[in-house]
Structure 1
């Protein structure tokens, strides 16, 4: 029986990609759902390549179906083009399209408006990205509903390098938020692509659940956005013990899992990234 340790923050990046607990090789999947203090998911689709296989899990899986669905401007074009003509086309409808609305095609806008999607455009604000505008909208909806979501940012990485770094910047913004700092569990934001999942772990101790039938075999811990991070891990093939990591010195890439649960203790925020199994 798994027991919760309040010194740790808990992460489960494989749970929202699981189809059926009974079919998983990981025996601890069901137990870990209780440890992670699972919140409802919100989905933000960004303007990068996406696939029907991942969309099926995020839209059609009743166990983890995202409650609040937002497309970031051109992300709506991506969604529309991928699901058009599929059997469940009308089930992939976002609640909102948000951003500058300078990439949204007129035909896509008309289609989603006809299905009840609200378009929240703010082209005057050029100091924030479409992703940031979506998170601001999500925060407003959280306040209205007295509810907190875990965020899946699908398509937040890849393409232009400055866009990728902007997404990492947003992760740092979230853990630097004073209201979030007061909470026992930081806001979970999972940046998802068709190849990997990436999160930012704040200073402290973290327990990351890894369903080995979904994630792996490779992973990495990267001190992006900080000068250095002193890291100790368990559960990896090549564990770190009070290792000082920094760019130009040493970083941990192409590491591998040695079990279902990885623990990471760090004195500074670090990026944790893990490969999706093919």
Structure 2
């Protein structure tokens, strides 16, 4: 068993086994440095012509034939069944940013599980990229330059409060909870500045704003690991 950590000073591309457009994946892989796959995501990376640098998971979705195609040292089984393959990957990557493809879309339960992992590991900065949206844990402070009228949604994974500038409906003074007040379908009214009091809020933007989000996250403070 080889569970060593993947270290990178640059963003890491993480490929999951969920719904993923081949053209989108090929374009992302062409720009990627290190590539990590979550179990069956290795098949997608190989089909796109890229050997992943590491594959984590319980390997229940990766056939023996595909496992045999992986380069020595790439396969890193994590046998426990108490976490998802996405979680297994995220906790084994140390990088300024992880871009996750193949974790949004198709099965709703898989999407919910992935977003739960984002909230559980706010110190592991990760943006999940889907066909329509990108989602990440909102940092303590974030400044975004987005077009006026752009959709910006906030979804609490726990009780959380914060403050905002540049939103049509400010969030100041609101206590957000997943079973209470949420912040979907807000809209940009000017330069956006968000401040969160805890790492419980997910930020959701249109996929076309991925580069703007990545640029903003590069200048944002990081949350500490949960105790």
Identify whether the pair has TM-score above 0.5, normalized to the shorter chain: yes
Cα deviation per residue 1:103-148 (whole Å; 9 max; x = unaligned)?
11344333343xx67111233x11222112212332xxx4xxxxx3
Q: 2:150 aligns to what SS in structure 1?
A: strand
Native 8 Å contact 2:39 2:85 kept in 1: yes
Native 8 Å contact 2:129 2:207 kept in 1: no
1:217 corresponding residue in structure 2: 150
Shift of residue 80 of structure 1?
3.6
Q: Does 1:170 align with 2:100?
A: no
1:60 corresponding residue in structure 2: 30
**Which structure 1 residue ranges, 5 or more long, are not aligned?**
1-38, 84-88, 143-147, 176-185
1:107-122 alignment runs, 5 A limit: 107-113=65-71, 118-122=74-78
- TM-score when scaled to structure 2? 0.74
**Which structure 2 residue ranges, 5 or more long, are not aligned?**
1-8, 210-227
Q: 2:91 aligns to what SS in structure 1?
A: helix
| CA shift in 2, pair 1:262/1:57, >3 Å | farther
Cα deviation per residue 1:130-167 (whole Å; 9 max; x = unaligned)?
112212332xxx4xxxxx33111212233333322322
Shift of residue 210 of structure 1?
4.5
Aligned length: 199
Native 8 Å contact 1:236 1:255 kept in 2: yes
Inter-partner Cα distance in structure 1 for 2:40 and 2:75 = 12
Native 8 Å contact 1:217 1:277 kept in 2: no
Inter-partner Cα distance in structure 1 for 2:96 and 2:142 = 19
Shift of residue 97 of structure 1?
1.7
Q: 1:263 aligns to what SS in structure 2?
A: strand
| Equivalent residue in structure 2 for 1:150, among 88, 97, 102 | 97
Q: 1:257 aligns to what SS in structure 2?
A: strand
Inter-partner Cα distance in structure 2 for 1:267 and 1:233 = 12
Q: Does 1:275 align with 2:212?
A: no
Inter-partner Cα distance in structure 2 for 1:220 and 1:274 = 7
Inter-partner Cα distance in structure 1 for 2:183 and 2:13 = 29
| CA shift in 2, pair 1:238/1:229, >3 Å | same
Shift of residue 211 of structure 1?
5.4
1:31 corresponding residue in structure 2: none
- Runs of 4+, deviation exceeding 6 Å: none
Cα deviation per residue 1:216-244 (whole Å; 9 max; x = unaligned)?
832211112x1x32232112233333223
Native 8 Å contact 1:190 1:199 kept in 2: yes
Asked which structure has the greater CA Rg, the reply is 1
Larger helix percent:
1
| CA shift in 2, pair 1:254/1:120, >3 Å | same
| Equivalent residue in structure 1 for 2:129, among 178, 185, 192 | 192
| Coordinate RMSD, CA, aligned | 2.6
Native 8 Å contact 1:48 1:78 kept in 2: no
Inter-partner Cα distance in structure 2 for 1:247 and 1:49 = 25
